[in-house]
Amino acid sequence: MTIQRLAEDSLPYPLRTTMGRIMLHVRSSSPAKGFDGRFPARHHWTCAVPPQAIDVPPASILHVPGPPLGKISWYYIAWYDFWLRRNDKIAQWHLRYGPVICFRPGEVSFASSGLMREIYGTAGKYTKSELFENFMVYGQKPLFSIGPYWEHRKKRMLISSFYHKTSITRPVMEKWLRQNIMKLVAQIERAIVQQHGNEDKAPAKAMLDAYPLFNCFAFDNITHVLFGSKYGAKTIANDCPERKILLGIKQAQMWGPFKFNFPALAWITSKAMHVFPTGIASLLVPDTLRLCLKSEDEMASWNWNTLQTALADLDAVEDYTLLQRMLSCRAKAPETLETPYIAAELYDNINAAQETVAVGLIYLIFHLARQHSWQARIRSDLLSLNIAEDGFPAWTDIDKLSSLDAFMREALRVNPGASGRQERYIEDSKKDYNGICLPIGTRVTASTIALHQDPSVFPHPEEFRPERWLDQTPETLRQMENSFIPFGYGARICLGKALGIMELKMLAAFLLLRYEIATTPEMGDGKSGPMWQCGSIEAVPIGLKGEMIFTKLDMY
């Protein structure tokens, strides 16, 4: 059921001003079945004023290097953001102006590993910007949306150990992950049979779009972690409604900059979908934007209804799930984890895990498809490992493989799974940032792309060189590690890092042991064409597809 948004008579008044923006809070006028009516399905919309830093006059940071127009006009970077080029443009400005730049009134970007550690490390305790309030859901702030350091730390302590490497890579976790990989392989085998038929002479192969398949894989994995085997999604092998929701969510990545930069227009657009007849709304609102808004609501509804069903059948929810962990914490402190907050945290985990893992996977496999010598090298190393009952090595052995680890790191360096838009607020005007002082309230962030493309740390950064991660001196490797932040850094590093790495390495290993992988000419080199990584929050491939050719190896 689609959740209706925004009836005018549902708006609470008066409007309240917070952090320089007028926040227009709305409630769902027709909640989906399962909601109690008090909580909107998706985040609140913000409107009327573009996002600004907190009372920071533009003139107060004119001394910071950066593009002149960017320092005086909010719309300069918004233009590049709208066209999904924000990340690349900021990285280009760093090359021109240095490690500290002002690119928008009241906003500064860093491209220095030392400054990055300062704003993201545990010592600094910087507060997140209000950008993250866009990710509120069910009227709650999940961990990702919490601004103040100490409030975030208190909530994080409830679940952080759940995602620790020793916990998330236990045999029970590896078992179902292997099962999901085999389901994915079965889909490739099915495509081979459909496209290859019974021809014995030609190599058995198939071309398919791997990106939506990887989306399903990541979605099934994270929902299994959250809800367990009975209530976790099963989209890899089934043509189910959740697949359609995932297709719409992919469009949401493309429309994110529009919603964040022009929230008033986004609010009006979402309202028009329900006020006007379908025929008129289809003329006013682009199909992809309508699909995006609808799918976000449907995903929030799916998560809430799945939670309610699981809560009514807790005996079927395994002890190793995040839901059981949060319920255990609630039993000790009921006031800290009410059901809407648990729902918000689960929803946030789904959003964070399914898209970033899917992006990481499609670029890892894309680079493997373009590097056949590395395919052969990693495959040879994999064949030297002990084989489990299902015909593939165990995770502990795969994880130790230096060639695969180096290749994965290089893929994440060139194509990180997120934009790195982790904004913080300056709270001390006397602190020195590379010789520059910034007024209180200035937004600061670190450019992941600029750090990953720093030629002083990564020689010839434009080239894909997995070998740069092998046979380095301890000092060189330390410098590279300090500038390598595909999962973030410090107190708010991605909780799902260990799970994400496990998914990437295991799927790559299984595919390499069964197939020779190639890509189609249409996909290009990743620097242009459908596989160019755009500047959305999740940094997805601009074509929202990844055509791969899987050729079955003789041993299979």
* Three-state DSSP state, 554: coil
With beta carbons less than 8 A apart as the criterion, state whether 214 and 362 touch.
yes
Q: Is 494 annotated as a binding residue?
A: yes
Spatial distance between the Cα atoms of 417 and 395, rounded to a whole number of angstroms: 22
Spatial distance between the Cα atoms of 458 and 460, rounded to a whole number of angstroms: 6
Angle at 330 between CA 326 and CA 335, to 5 degrees: 130
Spatial distance between the Cα atoms of 535 and 527, rounded to a whole number of angstroms: 13
The DSSP element (H or E) to which 307 belongs, if any, is helix 287-311
Burial string for 34-57 (b: 16+ CB within 10 Å, else e) reads ebeeebbbbbbbbbeebbbbbebe
Closest CA to 8 of 279, 292, 268, 298: 268
Task: Give me the residue label for tokens 């052995």.
Answer: 397
How far from each other are the two terminal CA atoms of the chain, in whole angstroms?
Answer: 44
Pairing of strands 443-446, 424-425: antiparallel
Spatial distance between the Cα atoms of 185 and 208, rounded to a whole number of angstroms: 12
Distance of CA 416 to the CA centre of its chain: 10
- Torsion angle of C-alpha atoms 31, 32, 35, 39, degrees rounded to 10: -40
Spatial distance between the Cα atoms of 414 and 420, rounded to a whole number of angstroms: 13
Angle at 49 between CA 45 and CA 54, to 5 degrees: 105
Pairing of strands 21-23, 16-18: antiparallel
DSSP conformation class of 346? H
Residues in contact with 530: Cβ distance below 8 Å, sequence separation at least 6, in sequence order: 522, 523, 524, 541, 542, 543, 544, 545, 546, 547
Task: Enumerate helices (H) and strands (E) in the chain, giving the number of each.
Answer: 20, 12
Q: Which residues are annotated as a binding site for heme?
A: 494
Q: Which residues are annotated as a binding site?
A: 494
